[in-house]
Amino acid sequence: MFDPNKEWSISFAGCGFMGIYYVGVISCILERFPRFIRDASKIYGASAGALMAAIITLGIPLDKCCTDLMYMAKEARKHKLGPLHPAYNLLQLVQESLLEKLPEDAHLRVSRKLSLSLTRVSDGRNLLVSQFDSREELIQALICSCFVPLYCGVVPPTYRGVYYVDGAVSDNLPRCQLGRTITISPYAGESDLCPRANTLTFHEVRFNNVSIQVNSENLYRVTSTFFPPEAEAMAEICQNGYMDALRFLQENNLISSESPLKSLQADATERVCCDQAKDSPGGGESVKRDHPWLDPKLIRNLPAELQRVLCKACRETHTAGGLLTHMTEYLPKKVTSYLPFDSARSMAQRVRGWIPDVPRDMRWLFGMDVTKQ
């Protein structure tokens, strides 16, 4: 049982595009028990969990982060190979988002409270970093913590001149063994705050400290970690995070209300994701007909600003993938996306961006890097 009168920390597991689950979790906590984040002595994170840890430590608005995440997922789904397509550069999108969102004094505001999990390439050992000398150094550490080998590229990024990769490779749930660390994961398992399994569980495995039950639901979640599902499915995952957080707060007596769920439902009836859903006459079936890109029930418990972001993302995806797109999918102009020319052009763009770092990276590729942490 969580005791708010004693010191505690929070740890977020790495989870790729399933990070949309954390958006729902944190939105619920900020609404109903913000002290859980504000008074935490340490906030740990690996990979996508590191990004969420930085976001909440800095107090960056969740709707802006949700917008960026939905955009990254939409861009990935544009390609047949998803995030593996040469034209898609996930870390570049993450870096652009960080450069835009992080304030100039971000490193001062997070130092000693934020702790990021990195994996050192030279020996595979885990490193937790919590002291940052500049905003650029903080961004470097976040990029290193998110770099999945091969999935994100071949040559890893550096932090203080040393090569690191995804913290999930060595420790995907930092300090989870400490009794006062509240663990959060989007996979059903033994974490303090996580989904509950609704299907038969055959076994439980641990991936670098993260408990993951072996069942069909978690198989879907693991797949969605690397290959983002459709926008409507991501919206539902976000609301699931909200409801799981609400259950956690209830079970630990952290919200004072006679009937939190009834209160939640009452609030939800006043929230609408867009004017079209609000103006739809009749019951739920009418809303579905006039609002085909997203069933409002899937996001009805989320804060209004998140509802609007998710509704807009789903509408854009629905419009882009409408009837005309399906009718013209196999026309000659579409065929170019399957030709070597498209991949060659995309690869050339990546190579052009890599050229300034060629000397350093060639030394690493041939084993000549001798820097030590």
Q: Which amino acid is at 353?
A: G
Q: Of these residues, 9, 11, 27, 47, which one is catalytic?
A: 47
CA of residue 48 relative to chain centroid, distance: 5
Point out which residues pair with 233 in neighbouring strands.
none
Give start and end residues of each alpha helix (H) in the chain: 20-32, 35-38, 48-58, 62-77, 90-101, 106-110, 135-146, 216-226, 231-251, 260-268, 275-279, 284-290, 304-320, 323-327, 332-335, 340-354, 358-365
Give start and end residues of each alpha helix (H) in 39-180: 48-58, 62-77, 90-101, 106-110, 135-146
- Phi/psi zone of residue 102: left (φ > 0), alpha (ψ -120 to 50 degrees), beta? beta
Q: Of these residues, 11, 97, 166, 224, which one is catalytic?
A: 166
Whether 47 is a known active-site residue: answer yes
CA of residue 90 relative to chain centroid, distance: 12
Pairing of strands 203-207, 158-159: unpaired
Phi, psi of 231 (to 5 degrees): -60, -40
Give me 211's structure tokens. Answer: 């408990």
Active site residues: 47, 166
